[in-house]
Structure 1
Amino acid sequence: MDTAPLILLAAGGTGGHLFPAEALGVELIRRDFRVRLATDARALRYGGLFSRETIDVVPSETVRSRAPWSLAYTGLMLGYGTVVALNLVRRLKPAAVVGFGGYPTVPPLIAAKLLGVPGIVHDANAVLGRANRFLSSRVNAIATSLPGVLDRDPALAAKTTTVGTPMRPAILAAAAVNYASPEPNGPLRILVVGGSQGARVMSDIVPGAIERLEPALWNRLVVTQQVREEDMERVRTIYDRVKINVELAPFFSDLPVRLASSHLVVSRSGAGTVAELAAIGRPSILVPLPGSIDQDQFANAGVLERADGAIRIAQTEFTSERLAAEISALAAEPARLTAMAANARKVGRLDAAGRLADLVVKVAGI
């Protein structure tokens, strides 16, 4: 194995970037390649394929503000990271470097470009992220999860391949679980998640929505909600008041299993979340993160909404009253939930890791 070609994966330190990298890594190892991960220090807290021995921490910084001093600091850190990445790529001699978005991917892929190593970026969003857009003209190939992302840019479209979002093994296992339509008077399992750190808006809105439901529905509900520690007490107080069957936690390590067992998911619409909902095939109410420059989460949610697999609610319209109305309507129409699950599933791609691995092998010439 020591003589097998090495593929260096580069990803930002969040689940949305790391999970597709892990999925590709699993597929490449299955094909007898070696893999390592270049990322920032946040990734060290994640389990999975990559151990500390296979992770190389590369300094980087996100563009946080347009203030001159902030841009200068970001540029300085990315420059420092590029020096570190140059030494890393020289030492490892990878056959290719594959980036999955986030500013920590910039130094390794710039180093690959400078050293003549083939580079590829993968973007899971419906809108190309800022780091990937910066790198797009500097890499040999672009892989996207969704079609049409770069149709308006012929130069980039010519080197773009739609592969889907690579899914880690836990998601593939969950995708094998068929959607079980809720019985008219049976349990209605609702999963509420808000990203890797939770989302305050879910704590602000969802408990109040549950409280506004008809009491007859309370007895049916089984609610699992991701809640930040600082919001835990006030959220639990509301659920205790209405005596809901509820499980609250800041983080669920077995999220794929919980997704598979849910009748309805209420969530943000990060690229990874949307891809996993599609792969597993679960109906959802999606609340895009507001304020992002590219409005990527709004576009991501739109993919499932247009397929009739999700309901998209802008955060300005996401009130307890609105959410209660949506949940009540869906609870009264189990067939609609089942149809939404099937429609979401049609959007998903379970072979994305293999398709991306094929592209990597082609670009690397191995």
Structure 2
Amino acid sequence: MDLMTDIQNIEVSPMEHPLAGQVIALTSGGTGGHMFPAVALARALVRRGAHVLFFTDARASRYTEGVEGVETIILPAGGIAGKGLKGRITGALRLGLGTMKARALLKKSRPAAVIGFGGYASIPATLSAKWLGIPFAIHEQNAVLGRANRMVAGAAHRIATSFPTVKLIAPNDAAKVIWTGNPIRHEVAALASTEYDAPTSEGPVRLLITGGSQGARVLSEILPAALVALPRDLRNRLIVTQQARSEDLEAVRKTYEGSGIDVTLASFIEDIPERLRDCHLVIARSGASTVAELTAAGRPALLVPLPSAIDDHQRFNAQQVEEAGGAWLLPQDRFTTEILSERLTKLLQNPAALTRAAKAAKATGRPNAAERLADMVLDLLGLNPAGSPDHDNMTQKDPQKV
């Protein structure tokens, strides 16, 4: 690699670009939940003058394609949890090969720091950083420390979290925890400056229903019938935008027919920021990215955690927002037409409760999470980001609960 030659030829102001001439390595698993915050940090570091090496697996190359200042390195990697004996052996072998490659490349490029975002593909680079004595930190997107991050948390110099409290962080690691938030797309972060506009007694009521990147079957099966069962005067005021899987769209459409509900259905919603800005209530799963966007925007939500999520992390994500007053958690085993219709009837006719939840959600949001993470990198390198947004409040006041 000719990285160091290229970087040394760059002349920039250290005040404007405190990381000029520095190589920072990021590493992440290949799912969107891991990649989106990692790429957001990559962009923030590049703006501060760094050159970023991005270690990931083959699934993730599309996320970093075309990002200026970022060089993507594909590593062999494989999962272990939830697999049979053969799958675990294969996964372990691939992780071993990935670790050998990551160690050789890190030894050659010698980055100033390594930042891991979880997922099995992050293990080779974070373990190698530990062995090579390179300062490294991890970022956890969920309210439960993920399995890959657990493997290296004890040796990490910093543990950045998306939530005020995170389970399964060892007590001895509490002093390393920094509540940065979870980076989100800038179009949603911009909603932090907008105010929540509660529904009036006679005006429209806008609902946004999403099930993550693939939709959620339970939302398609239960929600339409529950909305159709609402009192007529409320039902006729509804403006619904619902994401559903492609194979569910026709059945969902038939359920809404003749109900008087103004509904827009799509397997993928292109204009989520605009819909989120205008909606009065969101009904959704409680994945890390969804929760980060809801709280940054300050929009109330009814959250239905995915029961099969690893370590039940979606339930803990939803609990954190509910405990803060920004959402209502409804477990999937209680997500029935009758219960949901009753809950929505009371909730949608109580604008004061919706407004309180919106304010509480925004109070827990971190729309500037990417910059907070970049500040953490500077702090890790001893380049304290004085004057950075909320720098004095970066450290988590109430560390993890085990």
User: 2:250 matched to 1:242?
Assistant: no
Instruction: Please give the alpha-carbon distance, in whole angstroms, between the structure 1 residues aligned to 2:177 and 2:88.
Output: 30
CA 1:157–1:79: 2 relative to 1, 3 Å: same
Aligned: 1:187 with 2:192: no
Alignment equivalent of 2:130, drawn from 92, 113, 121: 113
* Deviation for aligned residue 1:193: 0.9
- Cα RMSD between the aligned structures? 2.4
1:78-127 deviations in Å (ceiling 9; x for gaps): 11222232344345432211111222211221222233322110112221
What residue number does 2:332 align with?
315
Instruction: Return the alpha-carbon distance in structure 2 between the equivalents of residues 87 and 198 of structure 1.
Output: 40
Q: Deviations over 1:45-93 (max 9, x none)?
A: 4489737974332222223425322221221121122223234434543
Aligned partners of 1:199 and 1:228 also within 8 Å: yes
Letter in 1 for 2:287: G
| Cα shift at 1:243 | 4.3
Offset of 1:211 from its aligned partner? 1.7
Name the residue aligned to 1:340. Answer: 357
Q: Does the residue aligned with 2:7 lie in a helix, a strand or coil?
A: coil
Q: Indicate if the aligned counterparts of 1:145 and 1:164 stay in contact, CA closer than 8 A.
A: yes
Number of residue pairs aligned between Structure 1 and Structure 2: 366
**Distance change >3 Å, CA 55–CA 48, structure 1 → 2:** closer
Q: Deviations over 1:277-317 (max 9, x none)?
A: 11110000001111345221111101111122111011111
DSSP 3-state at the match of 2:55: strand
C-alpha deviation, 1:265, in angstroms: 0.5
Change (3 A) 1:170 1:39: farther
Instruction: State which drifts further: 129-138 or 250-259.
Output: 250-259
Q: Do the aligned partners of 2:64 and 2:70 also contact (CA within 8 Å) in 1?
A: no
**Equivalence for 1:149:** 166
User: Within 5 A, what are the aligned runs for 1:66-215?
Assistant: 67-149=84-166, 153-215=170-232
The answer to whether the 8 Å contact 1:184/1:332 transfers is yes
Is the 8 Å Cα contact of residues 52 and 70 (structure 2) preserved in structure 1? Answer: no
Distance in 1, Cα, partners of 2:144 & 2:53: 27
Aligned to 1:60: 77
Identity in percent: 46
CA deviation profile, 1:308-331 (whole Å, cap 9, x unmatched): 211101111111222212221122
Partners of 2:63 and 2:241 in 1: how far apart? 22
2:300 maps to 283
Q: Which residue of 2 aligns with 1:2?
A: 7
TM-score by length of 2: 0.84
Change in Cα spacing, 1:106 to 1:331, as seen in structure 2 (3 Å) is: same
SS at match of 2:355: helix
Residue deviations 1:20-50 (CA, integer Å, cap 9, x gap): 2233223222222222432233334448973
Which residue does the alignment assign to 2:393? Answer: none
What is the Cα deviation at residue 365 of structure 1? 4.3
Alpha carbons of 1:198 and 1:91: their partners in 2 closer, same or farther (altered >3 Å)?
Answer: farther
Cα distance between partner residues in 2 of 1:47 and 1:116: 27
Separation in structure 1 between the aligned mates of residue 317 and residue 340 of structure 2, nearest angstrom: 20
Which runs of 5 or more residues in structure 2 are unaligned?
Answer: 1-5, 9-20, 384-402
For the Cα contact (< 8 Å) 1:151–1:157, is it kept in 2? Answer: no
Look up the SS of the partner of 2:182 in the other structure: coil
Distance 1:52 1:236 in 2: 45
What secondary structure is seen at the aligned counterpart in 1 of 2:311?
coil
- Name the SS for the 1:128 alignment partner: coil
Partner of 1:356: 373
Which residue, 301, 304, 308 being the options, matches 2:318? 301
Q: What amino acid is aligned across from residue 166 of structure 1 in structure 2? A: P
Which deviates more from structure 2 when the two are superposed, residues 275-284 or residues 178-187? 178-187
State the alpha-carbon separation in 2 of the partners of residues 149 and 195 from structure 1. 22
| Contact in 2 for aligned 1:12/1:104 (Cα 8 Å) | yes
Judge conservation of contact 2:189–2:293 (CA < 8 Å) in 1. no
Alpha-carbon distance between aligned partners in 2 of 1:89 and 1:39, rounded to the nearest angstrom: 13
Q: Work out the CA distance in 2 between the residues paired with 1:253 and 1:95.
A: 38
Displacement of 1:350 in angstroms is 3.0
| Aligned counterpart, 2:273 | 256
Given that 1:150 and 1:156 are in contact with CA atoms closer than 8 Å, whether structure 2 keeps it comes out as: no
**2:41 alignment partner AA:** L
2-structure distance, mates of 1:109, 1:46: 20
Check conservation: 1:119, 1:141, Cα contact below 8 A: yes
Relative distance call for 1:201 and 1:351 in structure 2 (3 A) is: same
> For the structure 1 residues 126 and 6, does the alpha-carbon distance in structure 2 shift closer, same or farther, using more than 3 Å as the test?
same
Cα deviation digits, residues 100-157 of structure 1 (max 9, x gap): 1222211221222233322110112221111111121232221112234268723211
The corresponding residue for 2:31 is: 14
Comparing 327-336 and 112-121, the one that deviates more: 112-121
* 141-150 or 73-82, which deviates more: 141-150
Mapped contact 2:27–2:121 kept (Cα < 8 A): yes
SS of aligned partner of 1:71 = helix
| Range that drifts further, 89-98 or 48-57 | 48-57
Is this contact kept in 1: 2:42–2:70, CA < 8 A? no
Other structure's SS at 1:2 match: helix
C-alpha distance in 1, partners of 2:316/2:224? Answer: 27
Q: 2:291 aligns with which of 269, 274, 296?
A: 274
Q: Secondary structure at the match of 1:113?
A: helix
> In the alignment, is the contact (CA less than 8 A) between 2:201 and 2:349 conserved in 1?
yes
Q: Give the gaps of 5 or more residues in structure 1.
A: none
